[in-house]
Structure 1
């Protein structure tokens, strides 16, 4: 008589759920869905570290917390507008016979800039809360921010 392995149904269920989630995310957000999930997780981490910093300083404020949530929603709207605008430009290009696929970079630059912003904000929250943040992280993000958000130096 074969012994029943009780872990198998749990593992099968876990695999089915995770596989379904990945398939849905890939369908909705495309092959680079992980970047959007990472952005969402960074949004949550930034909000939590901001709350933690405020709590440790005794400056908790529900109004500021709500503003933070609205700010995160605004970031998502920026990403939506950037990718939506590039989709519109590509469609217009298809209509008039001009290849405007390059406009997709608009969405990716916005997302990259916001990802860097979220990571920097999390690190700032840690610093302000009194944590010892490795200098390499802070300096590395400054460099990345400068590369992604280059200003025209000739102005």
Structure 2
């Protein structure tokens, strides 16, 4: 077996393991959670680099606050998915279809993912990178659409 084939097999094994564990723990759309985790790490890293090397105002207290904020994002996402599951199951117990509440978790995850991506773009722009305008505006549009969907039930109250 060649080194390339060996590398390819090892890579497939690692990806297969991650996909299987992710699907078992987080369901069919596990990759969204992985994407959010990666966005958390990239956002923290770009924020750290921006603060230390560009703004020259690195602070361990601010860094710790950022980490805690990201941990609380995950707590809110867990709560949103927990509420989804609980209400869906309670609806099944009493014969009411509350399947739509599963969207609570995904809307929460989408909102936080958009915020993380926007923050990453803000960080790299502050570091002098040229980010295409359509990307920034596109995230703004997606964010507005998600907010419109989540706020549509509160109109007229």
TM-score w.r.t. the length of structure 1 is 0.90
Superposed CA offset, 1:65-97 (max 9, x none): 111111111111111000100100011111111
Unaligned runs of 5+ in 1: none
Query: Does residue 30 of structure 2 align to residue 33 of structure 1?
Result: yes
Q: 1:12 to 1:29 in 2, by over 3 A?
A: same
How far does residue 7 in structure 1 lie from its aligned partner after superposition? 4.2
1:110 maps to 2:105: no
Q: Partners of 2:9 and 2:136 in 1: how far apart?
A: 42
Quote the Cα distance in structure 2 between the aligned partners of 1:6 and 1:111: 40
Task: Answer with 1 or 2: which has the greater Rg.
Answer: 1
Q: 1:9 to 1:131 in 2, by over 3 A?
A: closer
Gapped regions of structure 2 (runs ≥ 5) = none
TM-score by length of 2: 0.88
Aligned equivalents of 1:6 and 1:114: distance in 2?
Answer: 41
The two structures, once aligned, show a CA RMSD in angstroms of 1.7
State the number of aligned residues. Answer: 152
> Which moved further from structure 2: 135-144 or 82-91?
135-144
